[in-house]
Chains A and B, each alone.
Chain A
Amino acid sequence: MAELTYLQAISDGLRTEMRRDKRVFVIGEDVGVYGGAFKVTLGFQEEFGPWRVIDAPLAETAIVGGATGAAIMGMRPVAEMQFSDFVSCAWDHLVTIAAKQHWRAGTPIPLVLRLPSGGGFSGGPFHSQNPESSFAHVPGLKCVCPATPEDAKGLIISAIEDPNPVLFFEHKHLYRRIKAEVPDGRYTTPIGKARVHQAGTDVSVITWGAMVYTAEEAAQQLGDLSVEIVDLRTVMPWDKAAVLESVRKTSKVLVLHEDTRTGGFGAEIVATIAEEAFEDLDAPVKRIAAPDTPVPFSPPLEKAFIPQVEDVVAGLRELAEY
Chain B
Amino acid sequence: MDSPSSPASRFRTLSGIPVDAVYGDGPAPGEFPYTRGVHAEMYRTRPWTMRMFAGFGTATDTNARFCELLAAGGTGLSTAFDMPTLMGRDSDHDWALGEVGRAGVAVDTVEDMTDLFAGIDLGSVSTSMTINGPAPILLAMYVVVAEEGGVDRERLAGTLQNDILKEYQAQKEYLFPPRPSVRLVTDVVGFTTAEMPRWNPVSISGYHIREAGSTAVQELAFTLANGFAYVEAAVAAGMDVDDFAPRLSFFFNSHSDLFEEVGKFRAARRIWARWMRDRYGATDERSLKLRFHTQTAGVSLTAQQPEVNIARVALQALAGVLGGTQSLHTDSFDEALALPSEDAARIALRTQQVIAHETGVANVVDPLGGSAYVEWMTDEMERQATEVFDHLEQLGDGSLLEGVYAGIDDGWFVGEIADASYRHEREVNAGERIVVGVNEFTEGDDPSARRLLRIGQETEEIQRKRLATVRQGRDDGAVASTLARVVADAAEPTINLMPALLEAVRARATVGEVVDALEGVFGTYVERAVV
The answer to whether A and B interact is no
Interface, chain B (partner A; CB < 8 A): none
Interface, chain A (partner B; CB < 8 A): none
